[in-house]
A and B are shown apart, each in its own frame.
Chain A
Amino acid sequence: MSSVGIVSYGTYIPKFRIKAEEIAKVWGEDADSIKSGLGVLQKSVPDLDEDTATISVEASREAIKRAKIDPKKIGAIFVGSESHPYAVKPTATIVGDAIGCGNFFHAADYEFACKAGTAGIQTCIAMVKSGMIEYGLAIGADTSQSAPGDPLEYSASAGGTAFIIGKSPIAEVEATLSFTSDTPDFWRREGQPYPSHGGRFTGTPAYFRHVYTAGEKIMRENGYKPEDFDYAVFHQPNGKFPVRVARMLGFRSEQIEQGLVVRKVGNTYSGSSVLGFSAILDVAKPGDKILLVSFGSGAGSDAFIFDITDRIEEFEREPKVWDKINRGVEVDYSVYLKLRRKIKMK
């Protein structure tokens, strides 16, 4: 069987940015200790007319354009998000009509906190391998809300990544596995505008246990050590956790630097680890080996080993993720409140 993996990818990051200083000023906090404690300097903010559906469409259109494939060959669309515009009514159908993939396609919205995007990648891999579809589109996108004054306000941002899964890939999936358990570290009840979290509980039993276990197991099962990888990327709820888990697993900082986008863009939730992964694909060379481990609260991790193929050489990779991140327009806290609709209107 010919190899299956990522045939194309596209990303979208809204243009507005708010700096940690601007948020800290309003809440009387010390910006320097926030920045060093959280490792997030600024985050992306969506425009008033942007949401998870619009971000998903933009990222998908970039992926389709780069793949140079007929969208009608896409047989499945999965949109992973914790901020779908509707509680009931799929985002995937909006994406399908906007990219013009016809009507004969399988579609579903996924929800698993920040790992719903990688869950969609796994489903597409299985569907392509089984012969059910030729190409599948897996999207991770969010415009996550955070309560004013909550520590999450410094990191909860917006953005998305779309992957086309198929044969003859630029990045072959060598292995994938998931580690899942019922761990209530972060949640949002139906009808509530903002999420709640277990404070310190979000670290050790949730993020570190799941990411470490999935990462360690996929390497051991496939006979690899950290030094066998050119790059590694982990879910990025802040700038600290991915750095620490990388060290726990035995990776050096040079292996994770390229994918560590959270410092400049915040936590894009379902788009987080995959946005970092896309920044790595932007510079990867044939023969490179990449470890990707996502994390979704509640809780679970999807781990992947990717091998870059020769096809990446003629693949269009401009504009790069880091260029998009660095191109933002700064807004102040009052504009941010309006953009995020935190001002109650009559």
Chain B
Amino acid sequence: MLPRFWRKIKYRYDIVGTVCETCGSKYYPPRNFCPICRRKSKMKEVNFGDKGEVVSYTVVHDTPEEYRMMKPYIVALIKLDGGPTITSQVVCDESEIHIGMRVKKAFRKYFEDGEDGIIYYGTKFVPES
């Protein structure tokens, strides 16, 4: 858990993905290799920006133990203004969320590994205004 998360800190803390300079495809989470261009892929790291739009969402009532306090929480597909569509939690009231809602990134806690464990942080989204 810990090493796997640590390696991905850069991509979790900010929306850093990759773009293939050969065909322009954008990837988040980042890929080292473009499945379209294969051997001709030329990958470059990019930050996909702060904002996007909700294209679909679900309200999760049946939560894993570590998210019990957050119940219910919202997971959405967000089309980033900078390109790719990503899956992320949106922190807002159940009555607020809707398709087409403008959202911006927010640095938040994901979960805590108990009272004496590591605190995992990363990117979530909140309403833009």
Which of A's residues lie within 8 Å of B, judged by CB? 47-51, 53-54, 57-58, 61, 85-86, 94, 97-98, 100, 338, 341, 345
Main secondary structure, interface of B, reads strand
Q: Which of A98, A341, A345 contacts B107 (CB 8 A)?
A: A98
Would you call A54 and B107 a contact (CB within 8 A)? Answer: yes
- Most chain-B CB neighbours within 10 Å: which of A61, A98, A341, A345? A98
Cβ contacts under 8 Å, B107 to chain A: 53-54, 57-58, 61, 98
Q: Provided the pairs A47-B91, A49-B91, A98-B107 are in contact, do residues A54 and B69 lie with their beta carbons within 8 angstroms?
A: no
Cβ contacts under 8 Å, A86 to chain B: 119
Q: Which of A50, A98, A338 contacts B69 (CB 8 A)?
A: A338
A20 to chain B, nearest CB (A): 24
* Bound-state Cα–Cα, A338 to B124, Å: 21
* Bound-state Cα–Cα, A47 to B73, Å: 13
Cβ contacts under 8 Å, B16 to chain A: 100
The reply to whether the CB of B10 lies closer than 8 angstroms to some CB of chain A is yes
Q: Which of B10, B13, B14, B108 contacts A50 (CB 8 A)?
A: B108
Which of B's residues lie within 8 Å of A, judged by CB? 9-10, 13-14, 16, 47, 68-70, 91, 106-110, 119, 121, 124
Q: Which of B14, B47, B70 contacts A48 (CB 8 A)?
A: B70
* Bound-state Cα–Cα, A47 to B47, Å: 26
CB-nearest residue of chain B to A96:
B13
Would you call B14 and A54 a contact (CB within 8 A)? Answer: no
Cβ contacts under 8 Å, B70 to chain A: 48-49
Cβ contacts under 8 Å, B121 to chain A: 53-54, 94, 98
A60 to chain B, nearest CB (A): 9
Would you call A98 and B13 a contact (CB within 8 A)? Answer: yes
CB-nearest residue of chain A to B9:
A97
- Name the 5 nearest CB pairs between A and B, nearest first: A57-B107, A49-B109, A49-B108, A98-B13, A54-B107
Number of A-B contacts (CB under 8 A): 47
CB-nearest residue of chain B to A48:
B69
* Bound-state Cα–Cα, A222 to B32, Å: 59
A330 to chain B, nearest CB (A): 13
Would you call B106 and A58 a contact (CB within 8 A)? Answer: yes
* Bound-state Cα–Cα, A341 to B14, Å: 27
B113 to chain A, nearest CB (A): 12
Would you call B109 and A51 a contact (CB within 8 A)? Answer: yes
- Most chain-A CB neighbours within 10 Å: which of B47, B108, B110, B124? B108
* Bound-state Cα–Cα, A85 to B107, Å: 14
B66 to chain A, nearest CB (A): 11
A-B contact pairs, 6 of them (CB 8 A): A49-B70, A49-B124, A53-B107, A54-B121, A58-B107, A100-B16
Q: Which of A54, A61, A97, A338 contacts B108 (CB 8 A)?
A: A54
CB-nearest residue of chain A to B126:
A15
* Bound-state Cα–Cα, A57 to B12, Å: 13
B73 to chain A, nearest CB (A): 10
CB-nearest residue of chain B to A338:
B69
B91 to chain A, nearest CB (A): 7
Cβ contacts under 8 Å, B9 to chain A: 97
CB-nearest residue of chain A to B127:
A15
* Bound-state Cα–Cα, A131 to B4, Å: 38
* Bound-state Cα–Cα, A51 to B107, Å: 10
- Most chain-A CB neighbours within 10 Å: which of B13, B47, B69, B107? B107
Cβ contacts under 8 Å, B119 to chain A: 51, 53, 85-86
Cβ contacts under 8 Å, B68 to chain A: 345
Q: Provided the pairs A49-B70, A49-B91, A338-B69 are in contact, do residues A97 and B10 lie with their beta carbons within 8 angstroms?
A: yes
Cβ contacts under 8 Å, A338 to chain B: 69
Q: Which of B13, B47, B109 contacts A97 (CB 8 A)?
A: B13
Cβ contacts under 8 Å, B106 to chain A: 54, 58
* Bound-state Cα–Cα, A159 to B107, Å: 14
